[in-house]
């Protein structure tokens, strides 16, 4: 296969600044990944890079500590904690004919830089098996850092369940496109997906169903901790969501005492929303919330716990407002920050709360505005752009269409800082694509809906608004096909994209 190094590199998300050069660095059997003596914190990043590059190259790629600057033939990882211009996740990548040097202020920044390096190599670097060919990286300099701190994807594991290996593969794909949050929607009417020691039936009973009547499933706490660690090694923070006070039928069916009428109910496998509610005035409700949030907080090194709060149509407004106020205090009592869907804008929010905008209906958008006015930061997930479960067009068999069709361009051509009136750049924490799984039965289905739209959302989160254009993006997106094929991603080959 010809080594098709593009004239200028087709990196996604688009870096802040790229200065192309001439020639190429070649990765060889003698290449080492080297760290400075004070840069031990970069070792895990070096190891992961070596693990990524070994299968296809067959090279040893030892990770070594050296004195002084990286020598000829080396790929150097350098930490410069005092270099503020690099930001928390930024990096500078210098590829010379004889060596590669990656500099960052933090290990996270180095990791992001290694993902750029991965995209600069021939796509077969990710094919998972040995290929005999030259491994070139074009000479260039890149200076890069993200626009937004929050660049996420939400996966609904409640409507259909996805196993640990599937989630790990998804985390790898998020990392490749420099996303840094995985929000897991762990409970809904149709299923409860995380073991809670003090309320075991949530998982054993509530976890045993899913949409359409499949067998469901749940994560043990040990499995969940493993996922959190796997993600953390790739600088992805897992954000757990337990939806309340609505979307709780699986919990009510597991513990009828949580329902206002106290009556047993069978599990639910349909796709209606808005019919279930916790019982706002029962004391046991707050034992439940506190136990669940407490156990989740212990499993969550990240600062956020998502409490849902959407579509509580079966809860009276005054009760909803009271409930969210109490939940906020519970979340804070475990040292965490509360995130909720935009509806929590109805309640009184304290500093540190985060709201997730989703419904493009103007009356609903006003709730995000209200939350921002109260000082909450906003994560942008407007359904018409960022809901990966919307159909691409009329021919898409998977997915829903309540927010309209969402083409690859619709998912890309918008600006989070200009989406909701009164919610400007200073209020926006970042972006998150949401994949709800009513129609998504397998991880292959999930990939089909997520890719390539998720890649566009990743670029919106990372790259400056100025300098982004659909015309340029579709070329760079098209150039991702060989890499996605190497990784065996089941992506939708949208006809408007010039796939390579």
User: Rounded to whole angstroms, how far apart are CA atoms 426 and 423?
Assistant: 8
Q: Please tell me whether residue 164 binds ligand NGO under the rule CB under 6 A.
A: no
Q: Tell me, residue by residue from 262 to 281, as one string, x for binding to ligand NGO by CB under 6 A and - for no binding.
A: -----------x--------
Catalytic residues: 311
Question: Helices in 382-495 by DSSP H: which ranges?
Answer: 383-386, 408-412, 443-450, 453-462, 470-478, 481-486
Q: Does 199 bind ligand NGO (CB under 6 A)?
A: no
Q: How far is CA 319 from CA 71, 269, 340, in A?
A: 66, 27, 16
Q: Which of 436, 462, 473, 491 binds ligand NGO (CB under 6 A)?
A: 436
DSSP per-residue string spanning 468-493 = --HHHHHHHHHTTHHHHHHTT-----
Q: How far is the CB of 273 from ligand NGO (least distance, A)?
A: 5
Residue partners of 66: CB distance under 8 A and separation at least 6: 34, 35, 36, 37, 74
Cα three-residue angle 484-488-494, rounded to 5 degrees: 50
Q: Which of 219, 268, 358, 491 binds ligand NGO (CB under 6 A)?
A: 358
- Indicate the residue among 438 and 459 with the shorter CB distance to ligand NGO: 438
Residue from 89, 210, 241, 310 binding ligand NGO (CB under 6 A): 310
With CB under 6 A, what is the number of residues at the site for ligand NGO? 10
Q: CA 199 to CA 251: how far, in whole Å?
A: 10
Least distance in Å: CB of 400 to ligand NGO? 5
Q: Which of 96, 172, 291, 311 binds ligand NGO (CB under 6 A)?
A: 311
CA distances from 387 to 368, 437, 438 (A): 17, 11, 13
Query: What is the nearest approach in angstroms of ligand NGO to the Cβ of residue 436?
Result: 3
Closest C-alpha among 437, 448, 450 to residue 211: 437
173 versus 367: smaller Cβ distance to ligand NGO: 367
- State which of residues 91, 288, 320, 387 lies at the interface with ligand NGO (CB under 6 A): 387
**Strands 150-156 and 181-185: what pairing?**
parallel
What single-letter DSSP state applies at residue 194? B
**192 contributes a contact to ligand NGO by CB under 6 A:** no
Among positions 66, 400, 413, 494, the unique one binding ligand NGO when judged by CB under 6 A? 400
51's enclosing H/E stretch is helix 43-57
Choose between 61 and 435: whose C-beta lies nearer to ligand NGO. Answer: 435
Radius of gyration of the chain (CA): 23
Report the nearest approach of ligand NGO to the CB of residue 389 (Å).
5
Instruction: Tell me how far, at minimum, the Cβ of 253 lies from ligand NGO, in Å.
Output: 17
Neighbours of 466 (CB within 10 A): 6
Q: Which of 295, 389, 432, 447 binds ligand NGO (CB under 6 A)?
A: 389
Question: Residues 94-123 vs ligand NGO: string with x where CB under 6 A?
Answer: ------------------------------
- β-bridge pairing 135-144 and 17-27: antiparallel
User: Which has the closest alpha carbon to 379: 149, 185, 177?
Assistant: 149
Cβ closest to ligand NGO, residue 438 vs residue 447: 438
Q: Is 200 helix (H, G, I), strand (E, B) or coil?
A: coil
- Give the shortest CB-120-to-ligand NGO separation in angstroms: 36
Counting DSSP H helices and E strands in the chain, the numbers are 15, 17
The residue ranges that bind ligand NGO (CB under 6 A) are 273, 310-311, 341, 358, 387, 389, 400, 436, 438
């Amino acid at each position: 296969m010809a080594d098709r190094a593009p004239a200028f590199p087709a990196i996604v998300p688009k870096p802040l600044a790229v200065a192309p050069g001439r020639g190429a660095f070649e990765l060889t059997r003698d290449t080492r990944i080297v760290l400075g003596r004070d840069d031990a914190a970069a070792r895990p990043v070096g190891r992961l890079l070596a693990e990524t590059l070994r299968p296809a190259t067959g090279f040893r790629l030892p990770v070594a500590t050296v004195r002084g600057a990286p020598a000829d033939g080396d790929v150097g990882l350098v930490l410069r904690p005092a270099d503020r211009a690099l930001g928390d996740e930024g990096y500078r990548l210098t590829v010379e004919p004889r060596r590669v040097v990656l500099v960052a202020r933090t290990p996270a920044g180095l990791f992001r830089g290694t993902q750029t390096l991965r995209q600069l190599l021939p796509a077969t670097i990710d094919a998972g098996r040995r290929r005999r060919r030259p491994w070139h990286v074009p000479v260039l300099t890149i200076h890069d850092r993200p626009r937004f701190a929050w660049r996420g994807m939400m996966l609904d594991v409640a409507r259909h369940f996805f196993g640990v290996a599937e989630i790990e593969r998804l985390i790898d794909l998020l990392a490749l496109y420099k996303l840094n949050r995985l929000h897991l929607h762990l409970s809904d009417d149709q299923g409860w997906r995380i073991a809670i020691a003090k309320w075991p039936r949530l998982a054993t009973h509530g976890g045993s169903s899913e949409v359409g009547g499949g067998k469901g499933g749940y994560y043990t706490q040990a499995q969940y901790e493993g996922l959190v660690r796997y993600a953390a090694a790739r600088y992805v923070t897992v954000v757990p969501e337990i939806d309340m006070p609505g979307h709780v039928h699986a919990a009510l069916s597991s513990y009828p005492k949580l329902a206002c009428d106290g009556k047993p109910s069978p599990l639910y496998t349909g796709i209606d929303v808005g019919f279930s509610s916790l019982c706002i005035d029962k004391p046991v409700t707050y034992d439940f919330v506190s136990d669940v949030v407490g156990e989740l907080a212990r499993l969550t090194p990240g600062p956020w716990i998502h409490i849902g709060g959407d579509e509580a149509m079966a809860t009276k407004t005054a009760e909803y407002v009271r409930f969210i106020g109490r939940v906020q205090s519970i979340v804070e009592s475990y040292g965490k920050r509360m995130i909720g869907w935009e509806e929590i804008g109805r309640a009184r929010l304290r500093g540190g709360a985060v709201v997730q905008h989703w419904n493009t209906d103007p009356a609903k958008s006003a709730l995000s505005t209200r939350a921002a006015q109260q000082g909450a930061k906003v994560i942008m997930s407007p359904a018409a752009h960022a809901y990966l479960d919307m159909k691409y067009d009329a021919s898409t068999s998977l997915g829903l269409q309540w927010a309209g069709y969402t083409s690859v361009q619709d998912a890309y051509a918008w600006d989070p800082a200009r989406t909701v009136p009164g919610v400007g750049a200073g209020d926006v924490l970042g972006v998150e694509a949401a994949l709800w799984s009513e129609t998504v039965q397998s991880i292959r289905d999930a990939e089909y809906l997520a890719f390539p739209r998720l890649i566009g959302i990743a670029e919106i989160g990372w790259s400056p608004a100025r300098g982004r254009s659909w015309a340029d993006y579709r070329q760079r997106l098209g150039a991702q096909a060989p890499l996605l094929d190497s990784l065996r991603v089941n992506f939708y080959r949208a006809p408007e994209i010039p796939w390579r």
